[in-house]
Amino acid sequence: MRKFALLAAVALAAALTLSACSKHEDEQQAASAQAAQVTRPADKNDTEGWNKYLVQLLQKNLQGMSASQPYAYLVTPGDTDEAKAQNDRQLSTVQDTVARGVLPGNLLAFAGPDSAKTADLVVTAFTGAKAGSFKDVIVLFIGDQADQQRVEEAIKPTGATFRFVQM
Amino acid sequence: MSLKILDTCVNCDVCEPACPNKAISLGEQFYVIDPALCTECVGHHDEPQCMVVCPVECIITDPEHIESHDQLDLKYRQLMAMEPAA
Ligand code: SF4
Ligand code: SF4
């Protein structure tokens, strides 16, 4: 809640500042905000760049979350042994979470440079999830449109609120 | 100094496997660093690995746990001595 009170205060201050500014200043502000944005990395193996980019998308899509922090699950691309080990570890963490259920107000986000791989992890982890176990929980999938439907269908029985963000 | 994670953490788990001292774990609401185990990566790396990998830059030096480089080095040696033999 603290984070949301702070975000609300920042948003209000920004709105007041903008209304008092000239168009020129607006443009300058927009330009500097743009500069602070992390752009989508071209290289799928730029892990640090991708993590920053995906977490930025996550932070812009926290609406409705009442918990203090989201839970981000970042899926590693590639088929190296290291990537496989990381994703197996990630899958088992998510499966444990799904088996336990999640308290209302939380937000779980799934993302990775390889949208299909992220979607596979979500679909596997949510297979057999208890009906209604994610009521009032938001599940955010950051990926490609092509994978949206199967992820949405996989989480549907849990009662979670599904949110898709194009990466 | 050991390091500290701020509440802007998004619980992404990226820092935990990067820590050579297993000093990072999921706390009640977000990830935390155990000051007894954090050497600021002294003995392992030139810079704190968790700070390098954190995508939201929410890891800072903890003013409540100030230690010199020598103290961190001593902590590193003590931790190594406690490691079970392979
Ligand atoms: S600074 Fe190094 S030892 Fe300390 S928590 Fe971060 S990764 Fe671990
Ligand atoms: S890398 Fe940063 S955001 Fe992710 S769990 Fe660690 S401290 Fe939190």
CATH number at residue B22: 3.30.70.20
Under an 8 A CB cutoff, do A70 and B13 touch?
no
User: Radius of gyration over alpha carbons of chain A, in Å?
Assistant: 18
Q: Which domain holds residue B35?
A: 3-82
Count of structural domains, chain B: 1
**Chain B window 2-31: which residues touch A at a Cβ cutoff of 8 Å?**
7-14, 17, 29-30
- Answer for the pair A111, A119: CB distance below 8 angstroms, yes or no: no
- Please tell me the distance from the alpha carbon of residue A6 to that of residue A68, in angstroms, as a whole number: 11
- Please tell me the distance from the alpha carbon of residue A142 to that of residue A132, in angstroms, as a whole number: 23
Q: ipTM of this model?
A: 0.87
Under an 8 A CB cutoff, do B53 and A3 touch?
no
What is the position in ligand 2's atom list of the atom closest to the CA of B14? 1
Phi, psi of A90 (to 5 degrees): -60, -45
CA-nearest residue to A52 within chain B is: B55
User: Considering CB atoms only, which of A54, A69, A74 is closest to B9?
Assistant: A69
Min Cα separation B79/chain A (Å) = 26
Q: Mean pLDDT score of chain A, rounded to an integer? A: 84
| Burial of residue A132 (number of CB atoms within 10 Å: 0-12, 13-18, 19+) | exposed
A139 three-state secondary structure: strand
Cα B42 to averaged position of ligand 2 atoms, centre (Å)? 20
**Token pair belonging to A31:** 């330009």
Cα B9 to averaged position of ligand 1 atoms, centre (Å)? 15
pLDDT tens for A3-61 read 334 333 433 444 444 444 444 455 445 444 444 688 999 998 899 999 999 999 999 99
* Average pLDDT for B50-65: 93
- Please tell me the distance from the alpha carbon of residue B85 to that of residue B50, in angstroms, as a whole number: 26
- Please tell me the distance from the alpha carbon of residue A116 to that of residue A151, in angstroms, as a whole number: 10
Contacts of A42 (CB under 8 A, 6+ apart): none
Phi, psi of A74 (to 5 degrees): -100, 120
Ligand 2 test: best mutation among B15, B22, B30, most atoms within 8 Å of CB?
B15
- Answer for the pair A128, A155: CB distance below 8 angstroms, yes or no: no
Q: Is the pLDDT of residue B44 over 50?
A: yes
